[in-house]
Structure 1
Amino acid sequence: MAASGGGGEEALREALLLAPPAGDGNGNGKVEKQVEDLEEIRSVRAFLRHAAEENRRLWSLAGPAIFTSIAQYSMGAITLVFAGHLSTLELDAISTENNVIAGLALGLTMGMGSALETLCGQAYGAKQLHMLGVYLQRSWIILNALAVLMLPLYLFAAPVLRFFHQDAEIAALASRFALYMIPQLFAYACNFPIQKYLQAQGKVMAMAVVSAVALVFHVALSWLLVGPMGMGVVGLAVALNASWWFVVLGQLAYILMGYCPGAWNGFDWLAFSDLYGFARLSVGSAVMTCLEFWFYMFLIVIVGNLENAQVAVAAVSICTNLFGWQIMVFFGFNAAISVRVSNELGAGRPRAAKFAILVVLMSSVAIGLAFFAAILALRDVYGAPFTESPEVVRAVARLGVVFAFSLLLNSVQPVLSGVAVGAGWQWLVAYVNLGCYYLIGIPVGYLIAFPLRGGVTGMWGGMLSGVGLQTLILVAITMRTNWDREASEAHSRIQKWGGSAAVKALGE
């Protein structure tokens, strides 16, 4: 199409940009009428009716997403259980590789894959189903390029680990295990885009089923390779790689078998267009996610410099282990609200997006209060199953209050991060995280822990100031947001990274 066309040509261009593709996305050959926005709620009864319906939608997304997160988190945990039956050295080395090398790769690939939560969710809400497959392929290109750039981290893991003052023997074995785990790196790069693509369409049950089968497969294969076949560390690496690729191929088979009608039309050269803008949003997602992940890694590193560091690190490790399981629950809420907000904004329903945020916050705060009360009630005993040291149990008990507040704040924070992803605010939240966590939280915690001699409780409590401030800022941003404008920007985003490429391709 020529850029100088007249009014008829401009109308045709606008129609191509604004309308969904021919058909309703399910092959029915018709265009669905846009669903009306949520009606104004004028009574308590109406509020409760709409809240019940919204809760049903949220839990239909959050429930399978929570199970998927726990199942995939458990594959690494089960590998560590088998490693612990080999020797302490194998356990330490595999744990180090899993937390440092693979942990960095996980954070980056999961973060960059989160861009699809914004784009696929908004395109799905706008009935631009044909663009979901294109976005998926663009993300594969970007994340696999990132995986190639991260290869030196795996190839030269030993000097990296020694730089962080790891034991030489542990670093050597962890480095060898990292070489075996390179296939997992590329599985991450393929898996997270597929998950966001399926989440945007509400295909979360398929993800849960594949993850459940993969978890059973992983347990059986790990036992076979480590037990009867006696393959040791190599067997654990083969089992973990195979299990992650089982997840990828199982989900991909679901897509290729036609269970995502209209959203997958085969490989498309449009995947190579508009990569810069797509990559920028992906990097923003990665920065936002990694700044959150690394915040609690800094807690353990700094606590290691306190007096009686072994007890302090053990106590914090127990709490962060429990924190990891809790956060899997709220990852489900994160995914659910991201899908709901992006779908509603893409469909031009800003009032429904706001209502979804209110309902999910009510649910997550209720669960957070339950965790908060449970930790305070069990503060003297919840550390006992993890250690036989009375000193460590007492140290864990002293952390009970700050740990309980951490769980409460982190019942809200992942939800607000999910709202940010659904609305496309990744870079804004990345700046908020940088300021609150690293310019306020860590310095305040360090000040209380060392000059004021507040110890590990002071360190964690001070860092909570950053989490609390971040939560307040995200609440304020969410409350002050003009959601009508966000719906308009979602529409523009679909034009920029979807429709514009389609118009250009048709013009050629």
Structure 2
Amino acid sequence: MEVGNPDASSIKALSVSQVVEELKELWGLTFPVTTMNFLVFLRQVVSVLFLGRIGSLELAGGALAIGFTNITGYSVMVGLAAGLEPLCSQAYGSKNWDLLCLSLQRMILILLFATIPIGFLWINLDNIMVFLGQDHQITRMAAIYCIYSLPDLLTNTLLQPLKIFLRSQEDTKPLMYSTLVAVGLHVPLNYMMVVALGMGMQGVAMASVITNLNIVGLLCGYVWVWGRKGEMRWTLKVGEVCGGVGPVMKLAIPSCLGICLEWWWYEIVTVLSGYLSNPTSAVAATGILIQTTSMMYTVPLALSGCVSSRVGKELGSGKPRKAKAAAMVALGCALVVGGINVTWTVILRRTWATFFTDDMSVKSLVSSALPIIGLCELWNSPQTTGYGILRGTARPAVGARINLGSFYLVGTPVAVGLAFGLRVGFVGLWFGLLSAQIACAVSMLYMVLVKTDWDAEALKAKQLTGLEMTAANSAEEETMGLLGEENSH
């Protein structure tokens, strides 16, 4: 393979059998991860329901705390851990078990250091929110929730890297089963702590921490007993782990920025909705719409992570054609998922809000914006999948720049201009999101479909894993096939 040569597979279309084979591979990974994401979504819904059972003040404080912890903590840790995706998947494809093991341990070390500033922010939530002019009583409740959620930071230093570690090895069923068991215990845990023991908001926070701890315990047990511990050196020198933190950070920081920039935008919309006329209804409707997008996002998020693993593995194996096939099939699936979301949001636009509220003004706002949310998901699905492909090719910085430009240089001005400048109101905010998603999707697809040289990415994968590719039969056959096709042309 020569770096300058185009991939021969760009000339020859995929056969039906290749598409079917890749669909089986991709959805065999994606279905368990989608189930896991949906279960995590249900866990948060359960927590909110128990907060509402305690009282309206606790519900408001818990909602404020959940938003604050998402922005300052969980989004950062999920984003940093995403830097593992190209390293682990390409190391797995090239059978570099030492790098696979080292990368996991380096990311755990990075996240441990990240918990220090995040924990400082959580401890000082009360002072921060009072400074920003938030209600003192609500802030006091939010501060209590944050304090009791602090142990979850340590839990996530293991949870987030373990998810990617297993997914990169195309081993996703343990993620589903461990989450199923832990979330199944989440309701009785909340009932015991909130109702039986009367611990109130503290009980809800502690139940969430214990649920995540249960997931981590199950995953660690699986890795130790059934994982690849025989092929990896789990006992390593401190110098080996610390010495390679720099290269991991070069992938982790842009991955973090790319994920956080999109995640934070939804919180900005919530704040902006509070400045509209009838802010109470606008904020309530925004909350319903964000919960709806979170539910719809479970599939694209799983698809993004799994295609990242598939692309990284095939590049690490020296198979650029299969990597490209995985990317193209995933993008096709993303468009189908987006189309499904458009369809149901249009059909249920007048009835969806009744599942959440009886307030007529809130239902009217949700009904007006829900089809726009569906259109957003039509573009969000391929752009999320495209970002996964870029992470699989170790180019998260490209995705971060696209997200910055799309959400903050396109989406924010459009949202503010329509909602407040032209006085379009509530739906103007969501047209801003739509413009951001369109800009983001077009840019991501351009980078994947036009600017990606798959042969060159396979060579870069060799350099990233530090492994000189050998003439293994499968890789050699594909390389010879590519050279033969290029010569014929």
- Could you tell me how far apart the structure 1 residues matched to 2:8 and 2:173 are? 30
Match of 1:222 among 190, 193, 198: 190
Determine the structure 1 residue equivalent to 2:465: 494
Match of 2:267 among 297, 315, 321: 297
Matched, 1:121 2:92: no
Give aligned pairs, total.
458
Determine the structure 1 residue equivalent to 2:140: 172
Matched, 1:419 2:395: no
Determine the structure 1 residue equivalent to 2:159: 191
**Residues 133, 474 of structure 1: alpha-carbon distance in 2 compared, 3 angstrom cutoff:** same
The one-letter code matched in structure 2 to 1:356 is A
The one-letter code matched in structure 1 to 2:349 is R
1:165 alignment partner, SS class: coil
Task: Say whether the 8 Å CA contact 1:365–1:411 is kept in structure 2.
Answer: yes
Task: Say whether the 8 Å CA contact 1:76–1:98 is kept in structure 2.
Answer: no
- Could you tell me how far apart the structure 2 residues matched to 1:318 and 1:236 are? 21
Match of 1:95 among 40, 63, 80: 63
Match of 2:288 among 309, 318, 324: 318
The one-letter code matched in structure 1 to 2:455 is D
Match of 1:469 among 433, 439, 446: 439
The one-letter code matched in structure 2 to 1:482 is D
The 10-residue stretch of structure 1 (85-94 or 457-466) with the greater mean CA deviation from structure 2: 457-466
TM-score norm. by structure 1 comes to: 0.87
Poorly superposed stretches of 4+, deviation over 4 Å: 38-44
- Could you tell me how far apart the structure 1 residues matched to 2:456 and 2:37 are? 33
Determine the structure 2 residue equivalent to 1:388: 358
Shift of 1:87: 1.0
Shift of 1:379: 1.6
Shift of 1:164: 3.7
Task: Say whether the 8 Å CA contact 1:129–1:262 is kept in structure 2.
Answer: no
Over aligned residues, Cα RMSD in angstroms? 1.9
* Residues 45-84 of structure 1: pairs in structure 2 closer than 5 A: 47-84=15-52
Determine the structure 1 residue equivalent to 2:214: 246
TM-score norm. by structure 2 comes to: 0.90
Task: Say whether the 8 Å CA contact 1:54–1:359 is kept in structure 2.
Answer: yes
The one-letter code matched in structure 2 to 1:294 is W
- Could you tell me how far apart the structure 2 residues matched to 1:422 and 1:229 are? 47
Task: Say whether the 8 Å CA contact 2:71–2:264 is kept in structure 1.
Answer: no
- Could you tell me how far apart the structure 2 residues matched to 1:492 and 1:43 are? 28
Q: Deviations 1:213-250 (Å, cap 9, x if unpaired)? A: 11112222211122222222222232221111111121
Match of 1:146 among 114, 117, 127: 114
- Could you tell me how far apart the structure 2 residues matched to 1:442 and 1:353 are? 35
Determine the structure 1 residue equivalent to 2:478: none
Task: Say whether the 8 Å CA contact 2:144–2:202 is kept in structure 1.
Answer: no
Where structure 2 has 5 or more consecutive residues not aligned to the other structure, the ranges are 1-6, 468-489
The one-letter code matched in structure 1 to 2:317 is A
1:227 alignment partner, SS class: helix
Q: Deviations 1:125-168 (Å, cap 9, x if unpaired)? A: 11112221111000000011101221111111101222343211
Match of 2:414 among 430, 444, 452: 444
Where structure 1 has 5 or more consecutive residues not aligned to the other structure, the ranges are 1-37, 497-508
Determine the structure 1 residue equivalent to 2:425: 455
Task: Say whether the 8 Å CA contact 1:137–1:267 is kept in structure 2.
Answer: no
Q: Deviations 1:66-103 (Å, cap 9, x if unpaired)? A: 11112223222212211211111111112211121244
**% of aligned pairs identical?**
27
- Could you tell me how far apart the structure 2 residues matched to 1:74 and 1:211 are? 11
Task: Say whether the 8 Å CA contact 2:373–2:434 is kept in structure 1.
Answer: no
